[in-house]
Amino acid sequence: MILVPITYKGGVFRHDEILDLIEDMGGYIIQKHMIAQEVVLQALIPKEDIEILKTVSRPLAGEVKPAPLVGTEIAVVSMSLEIHHLPHASCDVAEYLRTAGAKTNMIGLARGFGKRIGLLSDEERDIINEHDLAIYLFGNFETCIKEKMPTFRRGIQVPIVVCGGPTKETLMKIIDPPVAGYIGGLGRFMHRTKEPHELARLDEIVEEVSRVIDQKRIGIAKDPLSVTPARLMDIILENVPAIHEVTSPIPVVVQMDGTRIKLPYDPYAAEIREIEIEAGIRIADVCDIRPSRMRDYILLKVKPFSETGMLV
Amino acid sequence: MSTLEYFEVDSTEPVGGQLYRRIASTVITDHNLLKVLERLRIFIDPSVPVFVAVGITRTVPRTITVSDLAGITYDGQKITLAIADETFLADLLQILWKSYGKDQVSQPDRFTIEILTSGDAASSGIEDLAVADPTEGLFKDLIYSMQVICPEGFRVKKQNFHNGRFWFVASENTLPEDVTPLVDEQFRIMEAAS
């Protein structure tokens, strides 16, 4: 069964029918937002059932759209959280990626600014590595990007997409060895992105990120995960009552190869480790469970089939 | 930026320079400095690295005195101020309390201040009492906006404002003790262009 990421937008009226339908299809609801009278669902549903969902949602004035980044957690790395970079461009990029379904976390580096003085601490590096992909929002000068890039890529194991003021070709030329993706013409700016050519740049980011994520998906498919992270999310929501007390909008974040559970590690890790996925198979058998560097959350990374020898 | 007589952002990297022109334009508009600035030239060399901004302001507003913001009437030992502009009222009250004492200054309503003086009220010279110096705020606003425009890593800064001419130099590295040659060159280019 191939699961495809979609976004459903519709009214509150009878939306529970859509929730039930997605669950009956064997799909997973990753995020559910209720904004006034509107419901936005980000879900993974079986590819062959999209038409059924569209048919059912039509009388409810619901809209089903593909959302390539559902089920990914992306780090938007800003060189600082000062007025120079906030709210534009950092928030604009983070917000736009959310419309494509991604769960974005903005990471403002403590000492990321400057070409010679820019630094990446070990904590920042570890937090970035917990994500599926990192977008680096650099400035406008190629000299600076060229000089600071080696510092900022040191120890980063996730694919990096670089955004900067110079053209894409220039970025490709100055960054050596190459990174996973490049977006030119989007460096530091201090105005809101609302002109068509600026929105086109943001679309370009979604496109580039989707391309890189697809490549990563292909890599994962070659040695599939022992359990899909979305199913893991469902199991945790079912078996850990404390998760429903968490006030965070997304208490269990689905990543491409794991989940982030927003519960403290020490009191809950042992309980989560012992949860049974299927007869005789515990979460600990198919996942690495470790404390996240982000607050004291729990991070589950699913082991591949080659390591566990099972697919559940 | 049409109201500026001269506005140029120059850089050794033309693409970066163009993008910084947009940043400068946004910041100056956001900080409401268009009316104040007459000419502005910014030069950025990221390889040094150095950021130089030079500019000329329009006619600098003079010091604001009591007579600018209030009508004054004298009655023996009593001065009555009829406030016309409340902008600097808080500053004015602080100054009056300091000069005459809190007991002698009363404010029966929002737009009236009464002061009891020890001698003849008319000869107290209250009309020329300085209340605020707008240049001080102007300089702060100008330098703040330059700090926002310049790349964030440029933490070493020097600035000056004198007779309507200002300059701001910033770098990531230590700056030379005397930045006059850097500044003078930019002033020269700016003036040659006019």
Contacts of A104 (CB under 8 A, 6+ apart): A73, A74, A75, A76, A94, A95, A97, A98
Q: Is residue A260 a contact partner of residue A294, using CB atoms and an 8 Å limit?
A: yes
CA distances for A248 relative to A85, A245, A251, A252, angstroms: 26, 9, 6, 9
Per residue in A281-306, pLDDT (tens digit) is 999 999 999 999 999 999 999 999 99
Using pLDDT thresholds of 50, 70 and 90, give the confidence band for residue B123: confident
b/e per residue B83-120 (b: at least 16 CB within 10 A): beeeebbeebeebbeeebeeebbeeeeeeebebebeee
> Can you give the pLDDT at residue B60?
66
**Interface residue B164 vs chain A (CB under 8 A):** no
What's the whole-number mean pLDDT along residues B126-148? 88
Find out whether B56 and B24 touch, Cβ atoms under 8 Å. no
d(CA A212, CA A256): 12
What per-residue confidence (pLDDT) applies to B3?
Answer: 75
Nearest Cα of chain A lies from the Cα of B121 at a distance, in angstroms, of 51
Nearest CB neighbour to B23, from listed A80, A115, A190: A190
User: Is B153 near chain A, with CB under 8 Å?
Assistant: yes
Task: Tell me which residues of chain A, numbers 55 to 84, contact chain B at a CB-CB cutoff of 8 Å.
Answer: 79-80, 82-84
Residues of B whose CB is below 8 A from A79: 152
Nearest CA to A8 among A26, A28, A24? A28
Whether B1 shows a pLDDT value over 60: the answer reads no
- Nearest Cβ partner of B22 from A114, A117, A189? A189
Question: CB distance from B15 to chain A under 8 Å?
Answer: yes
A141: nearest CB among B16, B26, B148: B16
Q: Is the pLDDT of residue B137 over 90?
A: no
- Ranges of residues in chain A with a pLDDT under 70 are none
Residues 6+ apart with CB under 8 A from A157: A129
Residues β-bridged to residue A76: A106, A135
Residue matched to tokens 């926002």 = B148
Beta strands in A155-265 (DSSP E): 160-163, 181-183, 252-254, 258-261
Q: Looking at beta carbons, which residues of chain B come within 8 Å of A142?
A: 13, 15-16
Which amino acid is it at B57? T
- Per the omega criterion (within 30 degrees of 0), is the bond before A87 cis? yes
Q: How far is A177 from chain B (nearest CA, A)?
A: 22
Distance from the Cα of B145 to chain A's closest Cα (Å) equals 11
Residue B77 has pLDDT above 60, yes or no: yes
Q: Residue B120 corresponds to which tokens in the numbers above?
A: 């003849």
φ, ψ of residue A213 in degrees (nearest 5): -65, -40
Residue B158 has pLDDT above 90, yes or no: yes
Of B27, B46, B152, the CB nearest to A113: B152
Which of B20, B154, B173 lies at the smallest CB-CB distance from A140?
B20
The model's pTM is: 0.86
Residue A44 tokens, joined: 């993974």
The answer to whether residues B51 and B159 touch, using CB atoms and an 8 Å cutoff, is no
| Cross-chain Cβ contact B15/A82 below 8 Å | no
Q: For residue B112, which amino acid is it?
A: T
Any A CB within 8 A of B175 CB:
no
Assess contact for A80 and A119: CB atoms under 8 A: no
In this predicted model, which residue has the larger pLDDT, B136 or B74? Answer: B74
B2, pLDDT greater than 60:
no
Asked whether the predicted pLDDT for residue B62 surpasses 90, the reply is no
- The pair of three-digit structure tokens given for residue B90, joined into one six-digit string: 């808080």
Q: Where are the beta strands (DSSP E) in chain A?
A: 3-11, 28-35, 38-46, 63-66, 73-78, 103-108, 133-137, 160-163, 181-183, 252-254, 258-261, 276-278, 281-282, 287-291, 298-302
CB contact (8 A) between residue B173 and residue A116: yes
Size of interface A-B (CB pairs under 8 A): 76
Distance from CA of B54 to the nearest CA of A (A): 20
Q: Which of B1, B11, B15, B30 to mutate to test the interface with A (most CBs of A within 10 A)?
A: B15
Burial of A157 (0-12, 13-18, 19+ CB in 10 A): exposed
To which residue do tokens 């929105």 refer? Answer: A199
C-alpha closest to that of A103 among A73, A58, A143: A73
- Of the candidates A68, A26, A66, which has an alpha carbon nearest to the alpha carbon of residue A217? A68
ipTM given for this complex: 0.87
Rounded to whole angstroms, the Cα distance separating B154 from B169 reads 9
Per residue in A12-38, pLDDT (tens digit) is 999 999 999 999 999 999 999 888 899
Instruction: Please tell me which of the candidates B16, B26, B153 has its beta carbon nearest to residue A117.
Output: B153
Residue with tokens 């008319």: B122
Asked if residues B39 and B7 have their Cβ atoms less than 8 Å apart, the reply is: yes
- Once rounded to an integer, what is the mean pLDDT over residues B167-194? 93
Higher pLDDT, A220 or B3: A220
Q: Is B1 on the interface with A (CB under 8 A)?
A: no
Residue B193 has pLDDT above 90, yes or no: no
Q: B13 pLDDT exceeds 70?
A: yes
